[in-house]
């Protein structure tokens, strides 16, 4: 095992976990085993070497991936992750989860994912741009607005998407707005895209509160991760009156049982690049944050933060998965036995891909919508998916995760059957 693997946040093979989830869905929903075998494999996995000229004159060769899981319902869609712990199996699992997410939301997409093994925090702006443009050049024949549409993920943002858009467009000889989503507004991005994932999580929490006869302002929330998803979710929940008792970034977190001053935390992070030292809050580690007393725990960072080792110590009664795969299947079983309700990733963090779909549509039409229109359409889609999932978990007497995955897998299986096998 390499040093990088030893230090990885991944405790279990994520692709094997994703496939185990799929097999369980097949059993619960009585899906044809032949279809399960088809859906348990990724359609295509591309591995590339990315040589980059570094600022000191040396050349570093990075490894990158682009995986397409399924295209039965349309072109594949999925983010690109820059992180030291990226593995091919991690990218495969994320591509599979994207397939289910798109199907659950009713989007005409399949799932894909990309990743580069690097630490973007240690790269200069020039190095990051050169890496991105070379990576784009290496996968250029595998992406496109009718083939596979990337988006931001951990370690990437609108600036990275703009470089991909420009590199692809320069090679095609004209601007191709639909090749990526999550772009800056100045080059065809969509209003509402940046906070879309967090807003989708908020809509799920609001829907659940309604089912339980409660209001969002009656909940206390601990949020792990203070990047694009976690920071926006903290701001949105604070705006709805919820008590945000803890937030964290990759270096650690802060906790105040009476509530964090979220605007102050956002300003502190912007100014200092860290949450450490925030006034009127005590320091906690990311591991400690998982076990803090609160009504809702929202893991919005990386996978596998709730495992069989700590699931019995989680005090929250609701987990809202802002990240992909933050709860392992073995932890799921423990949480279910304890009566903890999990709002699964394919439902709770699907807001990002929904508004990515909106951006793709707007780019193809070259006609852009008002932010109020984007948010209203997002609410309609997420609220409908929540209601369908809630109804399915009641009908099958199962968990919200199994209900969400079941609906999604059934839809992809139906598309696969309808299209048939070629030749």
Annotated catalytic sites, by residue?
A: 113
Four-residue CA torsion sign, 347, 351, 353, 357: positive
| Burial class (CB within 10 angstroms; exposed 0-12, middle 13-18, buried 19+) of 276 | middle
Cβ(122)–Cβ(128) below 8 Å: no
Report which of 194, 179, 188 is spatially closest to residue 149, judged by C-alpha positions. Answer: 179
Q: How many residues does the chain have?
A: 423
Is beta strand 282-284 parallel, antiparallel or unpaired with respect to 252-255?
Answer: antiparallel
Residue ranges of alpha helices (H) inside 212-321 are 228-239, 262-272, 286-290
Angstrom distance (rounded) from CA 156 to CA 153: 6
Q: What would the two tokens of residue 356 be? A: 């990515």
Cβ(131)–Cβ(123) below 8 Å: yes
CA neighbours closer than 13 Å in the CB half-sphere of residue 2: 6
Please give the order of strands across the beta sheet that includes 220-224. 282-284, 252-255, 243-249, 220-224, 296-299, 318-320, 341-343
């Amino acid at each position: 095992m390499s040093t990088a693997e030893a230090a990885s946040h991944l405790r279990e093979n994520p692709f094997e976990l994703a496939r185990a989830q799929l097999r369980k869905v097949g059993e619960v929903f009585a899906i044809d085993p032949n279809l399960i075998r088809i859906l348990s494999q990724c359609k295509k996995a591309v591995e590339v070497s990315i040589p980059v000229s570094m600022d000191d004159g040396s050349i570093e060769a990075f490894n990158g991936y682009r995986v397409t899981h399924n295209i039965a319902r349309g072109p594949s869609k999925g983010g690109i992750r820059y992180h030291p712990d990226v593995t091919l199996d991690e990218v495969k699992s994320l591509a599979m989860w994207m397939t289910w997410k798109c199907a659950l939301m009713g989007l005409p997409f399949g799932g894909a994912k990309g990743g580069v093994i690097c630490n973007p925090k240690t790269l200069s702006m020039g190095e990051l741009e050169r890496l991105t443009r070379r990576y784009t050049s290496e996968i250029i024949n595998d992406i496109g607005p009718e083939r596979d549409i990337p988006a931001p993920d951990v370690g990437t943002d609108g600036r990275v998407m703009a470089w991909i858009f420009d590199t692809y467009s320069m090679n095609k000889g004209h601007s191709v707005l639909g090749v990526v989503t999550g772009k800056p507004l100045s080059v065809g991005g969509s209003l509402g895209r940046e906070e879309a994932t967090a807003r989708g999580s908020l809509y799920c929490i609001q829907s659940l509160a309604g089912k339980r006869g409660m209001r969002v302002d009656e909940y206390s929330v601990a949020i792990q991760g203070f990047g694009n998803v976690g920071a926006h979710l903290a701001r949105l929940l604070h705006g709805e009156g919820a008590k945000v008792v803890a937030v964290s970034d990759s270096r650690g977190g802060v906790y105040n049982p009476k509530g964090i001053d979220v605007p102050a935390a956002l300003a502190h992070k912007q100014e200092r690049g860290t949450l450490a030292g925030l006034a009127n809050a005590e320091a906690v580690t990311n591991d400690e944050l998982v076990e803090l007393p609160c009504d809702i725990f929202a893991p919005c960072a990386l996978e596998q933060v709730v495992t069989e080792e700590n699931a019995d110590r989680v005090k929250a009664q609701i987990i809202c998965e802002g990240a992909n795969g933050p709860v392992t299947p073995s932890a799921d079983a423990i949480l279910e036995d304890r009566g903890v309700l999990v709002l699964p990733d394919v439902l709770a963090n699907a807001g990002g891909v929904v508004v990515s779909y909106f951006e793709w549509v707007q780019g193809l039409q070259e006609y852009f919508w008002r932010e109020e229109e984007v948010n209203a359409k997002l609410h309609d889609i997420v609220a409908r998916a929540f209601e369908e999932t809630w109804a399915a978990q009641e009908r099958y007497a199962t968990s919200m995760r199994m209900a969400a995955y079941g609906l999604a897998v059934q839809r992809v299986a139906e598309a696969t059957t309808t299209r048939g096998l070629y030749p």
